[in-house]
Amino acid sequence: MTAADLREWIAVFQMDLVPDGQGGSREAVPANLTADIPAAVRTPSPRLITAGDQRADRVQYTITMRYEPGITTAYRVMLRNELLDVLAVRNVDERDTWLELECGRFEGGTQ
């Protein structure tokens, strides 16, 4: 992986908790979210999605970005105005150079 492979722009963020007016809270996308992190985005073949997940309504992406400490599965990713859940985070080769995020988006209003 080289810097020339980072052709997409993403935003990595945590959802804000906003009061719902009834004593609880709900998650909301932060205001003024900007895609400012270069990344390489791959979509696994449909065969991998079917074999590994058994859910036809899930869209998965493998996103590689430069290493940034502290990113966990509590974060979300904005890619091309789509909000994705971070399902797994891998420090490639444990060298603190690249992070590989497995991200998914659920279709049909289940997110």
pLDDT in tens, 43-102: 876 555 554 555 556 678 999 999 999 999 999 999 988 899 999 999 999 999 999 999
Q: Which CATH architecture has domain 3-106?
A: Beta Barrel (2.40)
What pLDDT, on the 0 to 100 scale, is given for residue 111?
43
What are the start-end ranges of the E strands in 1-111? 8-13, 16-19, 25-28, 37-42, 58-66, 76-79, 82-91, 98-106
The amino acid sitting at 2 is T
CA-based nearest residue to 33, from 66, 82, 73, 69: 82
**16-40 tens-digit pLDDT:** 989 988 989 998 899 999 999 999 9
What pLDDT, on the 0 to 100 scale, is given for residue 110?
43
Q: Where are the domains of the chain?
A: 3-106
Q: Which helix (H) or strand (E) holds 46?
A: helix 46-53
Q: How many CA atoms lie within 13 A of 108 on its CB side?
A: 5
Inform me whether the pLDDT recorded for 107 exceeds 80: no
Reading the block at residue 21, the tokens are 């007016």
